[in-house]
Chain A
Amino acid sequence: MTRPTAGTTAQGTTQAGAPTDPGGTRTTYREALREAHRDALTRDPRVFLMGEDVGRYGGSFAVSLGLLEEFGPERIRDAPLSESAFTGAGIGAALGGMRPIVEIMTVNFSLLALDQILNNAATLLHMSGGQLAVPLVIRMTTGAGRQVAAQHSHSLEGWYAHIPGLRVLAPATLQDARGMLWPALQDPDPVLIFEHGSLYNLAGTLPADAAEVDITRAAVRRTGTDITLITYGGSLGKALTAADALAEEGISAEVIDLRVLRPLDDETLLKSVRSTHRVVIIDEAWRTGSLSAEIAARIAEQAFYDLDAPIERVCAAEVPTPYAKHLEDAALPQPADIVAAARRAVAPDG
């Protein structure tokens, strides 16, 4: 196992959704996550963080840097390299009255804990006839773009979005990085939070009093009238870049950030589709059997007659993510691909 390095390809600019209040605090996605942890640890003595290298190392992506010194080793727990055991221990501790935050380094590693997440966390409430709720938060890094190859780069959050009993979140903005953790901890059921590795250095401003956000709805990050771009997480910036390019061509694109991958907020998606009549879904995961397929199906099921063009998808190439930069870039959705898909949808004959 190789330790991932902190992301270096963040957009570096304030993203849509992050307020530009001149009185706000200059921060990054990483610092916003850290502040969310600090806040939760301060507010609720049942909250603790557990994972590989969350303590002395400061977190493999430096999210928890400094928290060990502030909250001590009981609450910032360095766990052995045993994803299944410490994730399952998080489930058990949640059953025992705690509010654990389990950090898994990357979604690829989370497969070692998949048994616990699926067979226990997501299942116990129903299988016990409503007796055992599991108020657990699991955070992990997802996504490519950092040249860390095929065992640290995949976007498997759609797999987790397949599982009843889980809430799956994907913060793409500073506000969501700061504001999703606390409501996730208030959820009586397990919540998975996927942090795209390219976002940690995302910089911008947040109001000094930024706090919790809604964790049930998608968000319209840019309004438009001609086409709807649906995306989440690390692809939001790319979709916004594409929307800028499309605007120059006279195509007005609405950009929706899913934010919540399960349960999906159909209402927000359908409202937009019924207004623009055209859709591009952008997902860094593979296309086959994917979240993008699910969204396309829902739109086809519920808004078929509102569509003026076939649903377009821009997804990762169906290859294990390669190391070499030119190959990795080619494997991932890029703004130019999104623009091309949007053009096809707007002028299907053209």
Chain B
Amino acid sequence: MTAGEKSAGNGHAGRKPSSRRRAKTTEASAKATQDASAAPAAKATTTAAANVAATNPATVPDSADLLRQMMRIRHFEERCAELYSATKIRGFVHLCIGEEAVAVGEISALAPGDAVVSTYREHGHALARGLSMDSVMAEMFGKVTGCSRGRGGSMHLFDASRRFYGGNAIVAGGLPLAVGLALADKMNGRANVTACIFGDGAMAEGEFHESANLAALWKLPVLFCCENNRYAMGTALAREHAQTDLATRAASYGMIAWAVDGMDAEAVAEAARRAVAQVRGGGGPCFLELRTYRFRAHSMYDPDRYREKSEIEQWKQSDPIPALTEKLKSRGTLTDADLSRWTAEIEAEIEAAVTAAEEADVEPVADLTRYVTSPAVGSGGPT
């Protein structure tokens, strides 16, 4: 599908490029928050607009494709939860159910040469980035056909060919890495962007502040994507941050930062597209606060005692998948037949991935110490 077809076919034509997406008013402090983020966002509008024009940004993604990808991630993770209960998958597994709009929206703005650094809640990012479902499922099964040869598991999905650098399970530990990837791109004159994905909990870590400062100081091409799902494991945002307007805090480092409704895939995609264009234009890093919510517990071990059921139910009213489904139906660009077909295709893909993972070999134990060091210089000597 060409760019022209995309913009003609999905009803985006009426959206003004400078329109700014704001968080839904699902929070008591939403008004104040929006006001607080207005200053950096206003700056974004002027500065970004010039660069958007100059750098031929990524085309507007096909909304139907965003929806299909969200469905694919949702079904995949629901199957993962079943497989976990069936003890086929073990270890820590963190599901992004409820947060799919963030994953597909962010990744949709990236070019093949761009890099992604993610967290332990990265199934959605990996699938959206193009890691095959087979390789991700096999990794969860601990098989040699997994994208990390069974050495990483759910939290550590890697694919160098897609510049997908994990899967970092130390909160904020991936941020310095992203800064360095961007530094290498800049030093080599490559017009790549590094998307650095992390959660609200990471903004309490020193590594966030060190990395934000370094990226802004050196004007590095990093897109900081803060997936604010309102809980750092079990600690609510207001219980861990003195200033809960995360975009405003990021803006204090001198980078353009704004908050986005993370339950709206189109809004995330549009914000990411504009931010990527800004970053690629050489103006330094951008920061997106993507306001979202996870419907499931933090991990499979989490009894979810720290939040009210009613809160979860309330957020489920904003489920990004039905929301976009209804939107596309009302635009006349989606039919029930499309949905049925996609569901069947996705279920078939998942079952094929499960079957392949079941049947795949495991890494021989003899290869346990393989890759501790590289085969050339490092592996020769004594241990």
Q: Which of A87, A98, A115, A127 has the most CB of B within 10 A?
A: A127
How distant is the Cα of A95 from the Cα of B152 in the complex, in angstroms? 18
Q: A85-B213, A216-B380, A265-B382 are in contact. Are A129 and B180 (CB under 8 A)?
A: no
Q: Which residues of B contact A216 (CB under 8 A)?
A: 380-381
Q: Which residues of A contact B214 (CB under 8 A)?
A: 79-80, 82, 85-86, 89
Q: A92-B182, A96-B181 are in contact. Are A74 and B187 (CB under 8 A)?
A: yes
How distant is the Cα of A246 from the Cα of B325 in the complex, in angstroms? 85
Contact A129 B376 (CB under 8 A): no
Q: Which residues of A contact B159 (CB under 8 A)?
A: 131
Task: Give the bracket for the number of chain B residues in contact with chain A.
Answer: 35 or more
Q: A129-B149, A167-B378 are in contact. Are A92 and B179 (CB under 8 A)?
A: yes
Q: Which residues of B contact A100 (CB under 8 A)?
A: 180
Contact B374 A93 (CB under 8 A): no
Contact B184 A188 (CB under 8 A): no
Closest residue on chain A to residue B194 by CB atoms:
A92
Counting CB contacts under 8 A, is B160 at the interface?
yes
Closest residue on chain A to residue B149 by CB atoms:
A129
Q: Which residues of A contact B166 (CB under 8 A)?
A: 124, 127-128
Contact B377 A87 (CB under 8 A): no
How distant is the Cα of A116 from the Cα of B210 in the complex, in angstroms? 13
Q: Which residues of B contact A93 (CB under 8 A)?
A: 180-181, 183-184, 187
| Listed stretches B4-12, B62-70, B83-91, B169-177; interface member | B169-177
Counting CB contacts under 8 A, is A133 at the interface?
yes
Q: Which residues of A contact B206 (CB under 8 A)?
A: 84
**Out of B152, B173, B183, which one reaches A119, CB within 8 Å?**
B173
A247 to nearest B CB, angstroms? 31
Q: Which residues of A contact B383 (CB under 8 A)?
A: 164, 263
Counting CB contacts under 8 A, is A23 at the interface?
no
Interface string of A5-43 (1 = CB under 8 A from B): 000000000000000000000000000000000000000
In this complex, how many residues of chain A approach chain B with their Cβ under 8 Å: the count is 51
Q: Which residues of B contact A124 (CB under 8 A)?
A: 166
Q: Which residues of A contact B165 (CB under 8 A)?
A: 92, 95, 132
Contact A96 B180 (CB under 8 A): yes
Q: Which residues of B contact A90 (CB under 8 A)?
A: 180
Beta-carbon contacts under 8 Å, A113-163 to B: 115-116, 119-120, 124-133
B residues adjacent to A (C-beta < 8 A): 115, 117, 146-152, 156, 158-160, 165-168, 170, 173, 175-185, 187-188, 194, 206-207, 210-211, 213-214, 217, 370-374, 376-378, 380-383
24 contacts between A and B (CB under 8 A): A84-B207, A86-B214, A88-B180, A89-B211, A91-B177, A92-B177, A92-B178, A92-B184, A93-B181, A95-B180, A96-B180, A97-B184, A98-B184, A100-B180, A125-B371, A125-B372, A126-B371, A127-B156, A127-B166, A128-B148, A129-B149, A129-B151, A131-B160, A189-B377
